[in-house]
């Protein structure tokens, strides 16, 4: 194999799987260490730089980082990354002095954002400090998008939402509430220098079955119903509630129903559990609140008697695989389940009735706009999309990531620079050596198991819909949890010229990551290692020829626990532990890639 | 303080026949200098015991004084151990073996511990053919006392400060061969592919097995002008014979060209296959081996491999006709039958 080029920023970045998996590339291990040291303000600001809403996301993030966490390669559960983010947000002091500000001298460029959801807010957050005038058009009376209207307050308190949105709006964003954009053409004629569409995927799918019209008064579309509850237009629901669908929206619907009158709440799923769309923790939380989840029930009709909803009929089915491997169902029987109200939560769609089809914005499959994946630009230069509006429903952290990308493009567009020109990441490798066997990070391995989130007890939480269920980690839980992080950003960096092939590093490595051997072709070499490198998705490191024998040092990064022992036992400092500081640059930041 | 070794196990580590992983054969974290050859020998010992599936509680580790003699702490934490006075490990080992022949004995010594203060002890352990593995971690210096030349330093070899050694070396391999040792090998800490099979064979051998391991002292004897440095050893090493260890009851699948390999079946049924690198080399011919050693010494080469093996000889217990039951397990009445029996015995000498 050719020697690994560790100057390619991706090589070490991929070792920090959490940061790599985060759409906004939040520097997870660094903020975890800051929390460990009680530096909550620093941890909060580091988060905010990447993900803008640490307090909101510390409660609601979809956490793609956690399944990616390397801890799962050596034990069952990942580090509770998201919960530690919340610890930083909950414990921070007054950080107002550290927030970005609008400059006194403005650029004289005006940007329109449609919708005040997380995508638009991120665009404003990035552009206002550069001197842009950002105007946000929002059809509702309050900002936040689905975070306000759909994420229930028992998961995300209004105070947290208000605070973090205010940090952006108070920089000097002009938000026009109650101002739906009804014509793109008209907006384009207002002379904005660029337009960002962050209007979300606002239409909930309906369930067209017999009886739908007759029983309309007791059938609700999930996202609309949640919005009505959030804006206090709806205060109650019947005792027996059926929720159709088993995604995250369904989970919020059933739990909300339990708080405003629902006693017997059933979530009806077509498929067995492994196919559920809802995150496992959402399912757990719903079941904790005595919501019943019924699998393999396919809805067939709304049963209406004398114009009143009585319940629903379902086919009970069995699933199997056909010859082509496709899942097919077989009906067992038909059952009737009584209900007072039904909530349909089977997905969301995009809808752009207000974008005229002759303004140069092309639409493609599923009537979605054609948007460039890197630049977020539509087919009309100067019009950008992001968040759920671009490719359909995703989540908050993706909306933020899109917002950052769109802001870079808007800044380029306004400066006459090609939107395709993106700043590279800023990369630094900083040695962690403090002295003999002394490291500036906690290199000891903790055997602690993942801390469990404490919940407000059931009776208490049902008293008020806005009572937050999750209590956050206490000091002791935080202390243990931060030590579970393997510090994957502290990289093992090898200098082949220095190695005397004493084997000390190979011998000491607790997880058998290292091998000194003759070079070879990858598949064969992988098999010859101290412990064969069985994970094909993990690149292996191969050094140049070693001075004494010409053999190579090979490292399988797969289960390295970043304990630093290889570097500690190396007599010549051929191994070093160096922290990878990788910052994804945002609008207005100039890239430069440097090595140690 | 060195960092502790993380309490984490690679998920793909395979347990051996008695259900232990290689990490179960480790000891506490080494306090030797980083890069010391002795740590590599430790790692080779850990691997050997793991692969042989030796139960830790049936192992006894013995040593004298020196950096090398500190190393039993760093392997098989669950074994018995005794750290004796400087150079006195052979007699402690002899006594322990006499009392409990059921254990596997491994003695770790240094060139200082064995060839200076302890040489009188070493030669008698060889002479008695005590059933043990005796490793000399040979670095040409007294590492622990900061690098004085030892009795294995070569003439002309330079110390770190530049002074030249003028006394001739004692070669433990020639010494052992001459005294009738039944298993004699030399290896290098930096070559586990050679060292591990040798150690496994030595542990399976019945009788005294001496393994001289060139084990560089990275702090006091790894400079230019040293003849026991990593670089010098790599440049002058000559593998005379290579050993493959095949445990008992395992198929011998490798085929060798006729005349190039010899199999030696050890006491416990395992087999060592010795592949000759030098065509005229016979590892069972004591005189021939001695001649070879002399020749390579002359050429300035370090001859390595499982150099000599004799599986016929009887060990100390055979010679003494000791009971098969370890003395330590005999009931007290049998071990010490009382003064009446003693009188009876004495009468037979009158
Ligand atoms: C029930 C539910 C629960 C969820 N829970 C989570 C969660 O826990 N974690 C998570 O990460 N994600 C969650 N999501 C998804 C997440 O809320 C969205 O992916 C995210 O809010 C999308 O952000 P956005 O900025 O693209 O759009 P949105 O948040 O949808 O914001 C769009 C805004 O645009 C406004 N708007 C729309 N059209 C116009 C117009 N023509 N003119 C003016 N204004 C307009 C809307 O009023 C709205 O305020 C959930 C979604 C739902 C439905
Ligand atoms: C009776 C006695 N004499 C002298 C010493 C000092 N001393 C300690 S270690 C040592 C030599 C160790 O050399 P070696 O056996 O080669 O071990 P190394 O440290 O090189 O591995 C000496 C002379 C001692 N501890 N006890
Ligand atoms: S830091 Fe070094 S010694 Fe520790 S697990 Fe990783 S490679 Fe092994
Ligand atoms: S410890 Fe250092 S010198 Fe020794 S083999 Fe490892 S990298 Fe090379
Ligand atoms: S002084 Fe020499 S022999 Fe002793 S631990 Fe250090 S390197 Fe090893
Ligand atoms: Mg020595």
> For B304-330, what is each residue's pLDDT tens digit?
999 999 987 789 999 999 999 999 999
Lowest mean pLDDT, pick from A161-175, B74-88, B332-346: B332-346
CA of A97 to the centre of ligand 1 (A): 29
Which of A387, A415, A443 is the endpoint of a domain? Answer: A415
Q: Is B41 in the pocket of ligand 5 (CB under 6 A)?
A: no
Using 50, 70 and 90 to split pLDDT, how confident is the model at B250? low
- Residues 6+ away with beta carbon under 8 Å from B5: A508, A510, A563, A565, B26, B28, B29
| Distance between CA atoms of residues A338 and A67, nearest Å | 39
In a domain, B8, yes or no: no
Contacts of B234 in chain A (CB under 8 A): 501, 548-549
Model pLDDT, residue A593: 35
| Distance between CA atoms of residues A569 and A507, nearest Å | 9
- Shared domain check, A129 and A227: no
| Distance between CA atoms of residues B306 and B271, nearest Å | 13
**How many interface pairs between A and B have CB atoms less than 8 angstroms apart?**
99
Nearest one of A558, A552, A579 to A567, comparing CA atoms: A579
Q: Which atom of ligand 1 is nearest to the CA of A62?
A: 11
Inter-chain touch A504–B39, beta carbons under 8 Å: yes
- Distance between start and end Cα atoms, chain A: 25
The answer to whether B13 faces chain A, any CB pair under 8 Å, is yes
Are the C-beta atoms of B250 and B216 separated by less than 8 Å?
A: no
Q: What is the mean pLDDT of residues B131-152?
A: 97
Model pLDDT, residue B264: 77
Instruction: Name the stretches of chain A with pLDDT < 50.
Output: 591-596
Inter-chain touch A568–B2, beta carbons under 8 Å: yes
Structure tokens at B10: 């690679």
- Shared domain check, A256 and A198: no
H or E element that contains A158? helix A158-169
- Other Cβ atoms less than 10 A from the Cβ of A591: the count is 13
In a domain, B328, yes or no: no
| Mutation to probe ligand 5, out of B67, B135, B223 (largest number of atoms < 8 A from CB) | B67
CATH code at position B72: 3.40.50.970
- Shared domain check, A334 and A275: yes
Q: What are phi and psi of A581, to 5 degrees?
A: -110, 100
- Shared domain check, A255 and A198: no
- Shared domain check, A334 and A230: yes
Beta-bridge mates of residue A266: A242, A292
Angstrom CA distances, A278 to A176, A317, A468, stand at: 34, 21, 20
- Shared domain check, A224 and A198: no
Task: Select the residue from B35, B37, B220 to test the A interface by mutation, using most A Cβ atoms within 10 A.
Answer: B35
Nearest-neighbour CA in chain A from B256: distance (Å):
23
Domain count, chain B: 1
Tell me whether strands B302-309 and A174-176 are parallel, antiparallel or unpaired.
Answer: unpaired
Ligand nearest to the CA of B139: 6
Of B4, B10, B230, Cβ closest to residue A500: B230
- Residues 6+ away with beta carbon under 8 Å from B99: B326, B327, B328
Q: What is the mean pLDDT of residues B110-122?
A: 98
- Residues 6+ away with beta carbon under 8 Å from B71: B30, B32, B38, B39, B41, B42, B63, B108, B137
Structure tokens at A393: 């429903």
Tell me whether strands A575-583 and A490-494 are parallel, antiparallel or unpaired.
Answer: antiparallel
In which domain, by residue range, is A243 found? Answer: 219-345
Domain count, chain A: 2
**What is the chain B residue with the closest CA to A75?**
B11
Three-state DSSP state, B307: strand
Angstrom CA distances, A73 to A560, B12, B89, stand at: 10, 10, 44
Of B7, B13, B230, Cβ closest to residue A502: B230
Average pLDDT across chain B, whole number: 92
Three-state DSSP state, A20: helix
- Residues 6+ away with beta carbon under 8 Å from A280: none
In a domain, A185, yes or no: yes
In which domain, by residue range, is B254 found? Answer: 22-320
A279: exposed, middle or buried (C-beta count within 10 Å: 0-12, 13-18, 19+)? middle
Model pLDDT, residue A592: 39
Structure tokens at B293: 């050693």
- Shared domain check, A223 and A339: yes
In a domain, B273, yes or no: yes
Nearby residues for ligand 6 (ion, Cβ within 5 Å): B 110-112, 139, 143
Contacts of A569 in chain B (CB under 8 A): 30, 34-35, 39
The answer to whether B313 faces chain A, any CB pair under 8 Å, is no
Model pLDDT, residue B4: 84
Model pLDDT, residue B258: 55
Instruction: Give this prediction's pTM.
Output: 0.89
Structure tokens at A243: 């929720």
- Shared domain check, A399 and A362: yes
Which of A375, A393, A415 is the endpoint of a domain? Answer: A415
| Distance between CA atoms of residues A490 and A493, nearest Å | 9
In a domain, B231, yes or no: yes
Model pLDDT, residue B53: 96
Q: Which atom of ligand 1 is nearest to the CA of A115?
A: 34
In a domain, A304, yes or no: yes
pLDDT digits (tens, 9 = 90+) for B45-57: 999 999 999 999 9
Are the C-beta atoms of B162 and B284 separated by less than 8 Å?
A: no
In a domain, A474, yes or no: no
**What is the chain B residue with the closest CA to A507?**
B43
- Residues 6+ away with beta carbon under 8 Å from A174: A133, A134, A135, A136
In a domain, B15, yes or no: no
CATH code at position A297: 3.50.50.60
A320: exposed, middle or buried (C-beta count within 10 Å: 0-12, 13-18, 19+)? exposed
Model pLDDT, residue A589: 84
Are the C-beta atoms of A383 and A370 separated by less than 8 Å?
A: no
- Shared domain check, A340 and A353: no
Which residue's CA is the nearest one to ligand 5's atom 5?
B32
In a domain, B173, yes or no: yes
Model pLDDT, residue B263: 76
Identify the residues whose C-beta falls under 6 Å from ligand 3. A 492, 508-511, 513-514, 560-566
Q: Which atom of ligand 4 is nearest to the CA of A569?
A: 1
Are the C-beta atoms of B25 and B74 separated by less than 8 Å?
A: no
């Amino acid at each position: 194999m050719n020697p690994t080029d560790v100057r390619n920023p991706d090589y070490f970045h991929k070792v920090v799987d959490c940061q790599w998996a985060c759409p906004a590339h939040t520097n997870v291990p660094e903020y975890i260490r800051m929390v460990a040291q009680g530096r909550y303000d620093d941890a909060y600001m580091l988060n905010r730089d990447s993900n803008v809403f640490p307090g909101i996301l510390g409660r609601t993030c979809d956490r793609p980082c956690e399944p990616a966490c390397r801890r799962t390669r050596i034990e069952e559960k990942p580090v509770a990354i998201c919960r530690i983010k919340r610890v930083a947000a909950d414990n921070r002091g007054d950080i107002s002095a550290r927030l970005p500000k609008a400059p006194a001298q403005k650029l004289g460029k005006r940007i329109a954002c449609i919708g005040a959801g997380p995508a638009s807010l991120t665009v404003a957050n990035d552009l206002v400090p550069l001197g842009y005038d950002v105007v946000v058009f929002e059809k509702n009376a309050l900002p936040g998008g689905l975070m306000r209207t759909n994420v229930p307050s028992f998961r995300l308190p209004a105070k947290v939402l208000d605070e973090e949105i205010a940090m952006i709006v108070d920089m000097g964003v002009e938000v026009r509430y109650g101002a739906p954009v009804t014509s793109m053409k008209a907006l384009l004629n207002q002379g904005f220098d660029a337009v960002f569409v962050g209007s979300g995927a606002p239409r909930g799918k309906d369930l067209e079955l017999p009886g739908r019209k007759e029983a309309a008064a007791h059938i609700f579309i999930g996202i609309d119903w949640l919005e009505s509850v959030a804006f206090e237009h709806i205060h109650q629901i019947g005792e027996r509630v059926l929720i159709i669908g088993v995604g995250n929206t369904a989970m919020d619907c059933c739990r909300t129903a339990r708080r405003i009158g629902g006693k017997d709440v059933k979530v009806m799923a077509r498929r067995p559990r492994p196919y559920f769309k809802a995150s496992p923790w959402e399912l757990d939380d719903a079941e904790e609140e005595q919501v019943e989840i019924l699998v393999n029930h396919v809805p067939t009709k709304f049963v209406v008697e004398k114009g009143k909803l009585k319940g629903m009929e379902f086919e009970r089915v069995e699933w199997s695989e056909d010859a082509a491997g496709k899942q097919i169902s077989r009906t067992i029987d038909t059952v009737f389940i009584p209900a007072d109200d039904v909530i349909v939560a089977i997905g969301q769609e995009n809808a752009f009735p207000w974008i005229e089809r002759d303004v140069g914005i092309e639409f493609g499959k599923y009537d979605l706009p054609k948007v460039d994946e890197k630049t977020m630009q539509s087919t009309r230069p100067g019009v950008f999309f992001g968040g759920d509006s671009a490719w359909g429903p995703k989540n908050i952290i993706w909306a933020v990531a899109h917002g950052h990308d769109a802001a870079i493009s808007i800044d380029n567009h306004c400066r006459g620079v090609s939107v395709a020109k993106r700043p590279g990441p800023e990369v630094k490798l900083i040695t962690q050596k403090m002295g003999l066997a002394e490291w500036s990070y906690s290199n000891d391995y903790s055997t602690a198991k993942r801390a469990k989130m404490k919940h407000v007890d059931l009776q208490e939480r049902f008293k008020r819909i806005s009572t937050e269920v999750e209590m956050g980690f206490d000091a002791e839980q935080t202390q243990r949890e931060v030590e579970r992080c393997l510090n994957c950003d502290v990289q093992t960096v090898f200098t082949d010229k220095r190695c005397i092939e004493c084997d000390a590093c190979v011998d000491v490595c607790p997880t058998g990551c290292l091998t000194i051997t003759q070079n070879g072709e990858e598949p064969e070499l992988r098999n010859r290692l101290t412990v064969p490198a069985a994970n094909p998705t993990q690149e292996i490191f191969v050094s140049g020829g070693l001075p004494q024998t010409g053999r190579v040092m090979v490292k399988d990064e797969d289960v390295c626990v970043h304990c630093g022992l290889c570097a500690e036992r190396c007599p010549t400092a051929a191994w070093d532990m160096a922290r990878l500081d990788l910052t994804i640059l945002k609008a207005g930041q100039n890239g430069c890639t440097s090595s140690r | 303080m060195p960092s502790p070794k993380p309490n984490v196990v690679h998920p793909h580590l395979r347990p051996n026949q008695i259900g232990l992983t290689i990490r179960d054969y480790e000891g506490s974290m080494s306090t030797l200098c980083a890069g010391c050859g002795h740590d590599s020998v430790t790692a080779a010992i850990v691997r050997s015991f793991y692969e042989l599936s030796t139960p830790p509680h049936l192992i006894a580790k013995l040593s004298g004084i020196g950096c090398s003699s500190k190393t039993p702490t760093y392997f098989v934490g669950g074994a018995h151990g005794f750290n004796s006075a400087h150079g006195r490990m052979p007699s402690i080992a002899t006594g322990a073996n006499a009392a409990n022949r059921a254990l596997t004995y491994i003695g770790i010594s240094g060139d200082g511990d064995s060839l200076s203060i302890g040489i009188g002890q070493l030669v008698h352990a060889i002479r008695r053919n005590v059933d043990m593995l005796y490793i000399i971690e040979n670095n040409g210096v007294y590492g622990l006392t900061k690098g004085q030349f030892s009795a294995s330093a070569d003439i002309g070899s330079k110390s770190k400060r530049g002074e030249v050694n003028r006394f001739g070396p004692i070669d433990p391999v020639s010494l052992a061969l001459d005294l009738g040792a039944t298993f004699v090998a030399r290896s290098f800490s930096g070559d586990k592919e050679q060292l591990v099979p040798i150690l496994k064979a030595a542990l399976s051998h019945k009788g005294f097995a001496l393994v001289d391991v060139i084990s560089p002292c990275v702090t006091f004897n790894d400079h230019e002008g040293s003849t026991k440095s990593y670089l010098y050893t790599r440049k002058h090493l000559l593998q005379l014979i290579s050993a493959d260890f095949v445990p008992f009851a395992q198929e011998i699948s490798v085929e060798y060209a006729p005349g190039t390999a010899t199999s030696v079946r050890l006491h416990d049924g395992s087999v060592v296959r010795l592949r000759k690198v030098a065509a005229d080399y016979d590892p069972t011919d004591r005189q021939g081996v001695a001649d070879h050693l002399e020749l390579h010494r002359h050429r300035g080469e370090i001859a390595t491999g499982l150099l000599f093996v004799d599986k016929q000889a009887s060990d100390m217990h055979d010679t003494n006709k000791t009971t098969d039951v370890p003395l330590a397990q005999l009931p007290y009445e049998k071990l010490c039958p009382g003064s009446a029996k003693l009188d009876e015995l004495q009468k037979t000498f009158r």
